[in-house]
Amino acid sequence: MTVSAKDKELKVSLREATYNQLKDLILNGQLRPSERLSENGLAKRFGVSRTPLREALMKLEEEGLITGQRNLGYTVADLDITGFCNLLVVREALDVCAAKLACEKATEEDLERLRGVIDQMVALKDTDNLTPSAAAENLHLGLYIHRVIAEATKNEALVRATDQIYQQLRLALWLEVLWVDLEHTDLDEHRAIADAIIARDLEAAAQAASAHVQSSLKNMSKLERIWQHRRLSGLA
């Protein structure tokens, strides 16, 4: 039997709606860290079949918000601040290396991509929109600009390592955007990195990349305080 275009659209929209609902429950603390997720219970809660739910769960696992184990199902990822800080130390080394190499290796097309991402960030901030969708777009652009920088190095090993470290930092970055960096102040930090790379200033690019990660490290202590407050208040 042929599936119509309309049926395909409905399937995609149902999957996206399920994904968004479940992600909101996690990020708002209604589903607690380390909490086991019941597929049957969630399917009933959202009024969907197991197929769109499982697709949503797989996408959330890719983003680091939940973890899956064979024969055990899924659990909400735990907020391991110490682990995130250790990852950020590695991220700083990678980002500094990427920024310096991009200064040397980036083509004019790469630099134009950098300018384009910064323009999108500026446009997003100018909307003064603090909705979850705006936060999601802000995070997407923040991750994407680092991907653009890594690709500009022409070093596939560095691109893979950068992807891996950012994947492991997904939960921390989500909460940083939602709970700490509510005004998208990372725009200035990203712009400083981009400007230095476009100017092919290795020292300035390295300093800007390092400062950006140091800002995230400081935000981790704020995030931990917020997390503890939410737990004591019964919000997480």
Q: pLDDT (tens digit, 9 = 90+) per residue, 98-123?
A: 999 999 999 999 999 999 999 999 99
**Rounded-to-integer distance, Cα 161 and Cα 183, Å:** 29
Phi/psi of residue 68, each to 5°?
A: -120, 140
Strands (E), 46-90: 66-69, 73-76
The pLDDT score that the predictor gives to residue 74 is 93
- Range 71-93 average pLDDT: 90
CB atoms within 10 A of CB 68: 13
The pLDDT score that the predictor gives to residue 31 is 83
> How high does pLDDT run on average in the chain?
86
What does the pLDDT look like over 183-192, one tens digit per residue? 566 899 999 9
Buried b (16+ CB within 10 A) or exposed e, 96-120: bbbbbbbbeebeeebbebbeebbeb
